[in-house]
Structures are given as C-alpha cells and as structure tokens.
Amino acid sequence: MDYFLLEADERNPITQYFNRNQEIGIKNINRQNAHKIPPISLVEMYSRDEVLFPPVLSRPFFMVSKACVEVIGMYVKNVRYRFVKLYCEDNDVTASYFLPILEEVACLDDRSELNPDKSVIMKMILNRDLIGDRFLFRIAGFSKSYVIARMELIDSLLRRDMLGLKLTQVPCVTAK
C-alpha cells in the first residue's frame, strides 16, 4: 500500500487565509477537543479578484471541499467535520469548506528526522504496522497538519479531476 502526504499545491496563487478572530483554535483540531470548535465558523481571508478554490486547503489548517468530503466518505466512515465559510469583505468572495476532525496516528518510524525542537518533520518515514488499514489520518504529535492518505483514496480524488493537490509519496517500512 502506498501513502501520500496530502496538501494544497502552493504554486496555485490562491488566497491568503487569516484566522484573526481565532474562532478555530488550531490546538483544538483533534478528536479530544473538537467540541471546542463551533459547528459553523467564519474565517476572514484576503484574496484577489479572481480566485480558484482548490479541493484541499492546507493553511491556516487542513480543509476540504464538499466533493472531497463525498470521496472521503467512501473510504472512512467515522470522520466528523466542522463547516467553515471563508469570506473576503473587500471583493465579496466566499467559499465553503469542511474541517475534518481526523484520527491522529503515531506512526512515524524511528528513522524519521525532525527539526531540533521536534515540531517539524524533516524526513518522513511511516511505520506500516502502526497505520493498520487506515485510508486517511493525521500524524499525531504535531500542530501542523500532516495529513496522510492511502493510494486508493488519492486515486478516487484524481479520477474526479480534483486539481490543485500536492501529493508527496511517503516511504513506509515494516517493523523487523
């Protein structure tokens, strides 16, 4: 089974997102604290006049479009979502996204490399035995959302012409 780090392609000149009102606390985006996130949130953004919204956004936190929610539902049944409405007052642009509350899995292999304060993964290697049969999850222990998706889910997204994704294949090893 192949696994990929799923992110928004940063080459896409999309909007700059702000979470000034801190309505969504990044530390609350987990199953233990998700009840602290409102079911519907408004997040202010700054954007240009012409905006193409991709199916996945990575900043300020991981969010997906309605089409992605439908695909994810084919593979993962227990994902809870919070609705996020992005808006720009300057040019009346809005977009709707969903904030998935993903299962967090401590699945980094010992050979993975982290920065000195262990807040950023420099070289990611997954331990397949710890992943089990999961199709979509976050790597546990980091404030940044490292979202990992299995090849079958990625294939379903790509077959639906979801563009603007950045996919990085992540090596997996099994315990010896």
**Per-residue CA distances from 76 to 80, 136, 139, 152 (Å):** 10, 7, 16, 12
For 33-82, the pLDDT digits (tens) are 999 999 999 888 877 666 778 899 988 889 999 999 999 999 999 899 99
The answer to whether the beta carbons of residues 54 and 10 sit under 8 Å apart is no
Q: What is the pLDDT of residue 65?
A: 96
142: β partners: none
> In total, how many domains does the chain have?
1
In whole angstroms, what is the distance from residue 77 CA to residue 79 CA? Answer: 6
Give the count of beta carbons closer than 10 Å to the beta carbon of residue 143. 10
pLDDT at 21 over 90: no
pLDDT at 143 over 60: yes
Among candidates 82, 95, 93, 72, which has minimal Cα distance to 147?
72
**Residue range 129-146: mean pLDDT, rounded:** 94
pLDDT at 133 over 70: yes
In whole angstroms, what is the distance from residue 149 CA to residue 1 CA? Answer: 10
Among candidates 45, 40, 41, which has minimal Cα distance to 93?
45
Percent of the chain at pLDDT > 90 equals 64
pLDDT at 12 over 80: no
Question: And the tokens for 147?
Answer: 């979202």
pTM of the model: 0.91
Q: What is the pLDDT of residue 17?
A: 64
For 97-130, the pLDDT digits (tens) are 999 999 999 999 999 999 999 889 999 999 999 9
Residue 101 domain boundaries:
3-173
Percent of the chain at pLDDT > 70 equals 90
Q: What is the pLDDT of residue 86?
A: 87
Task: Identify the top-confidence range among 6-10, 85-89, 148-152.
Answer: 148-152
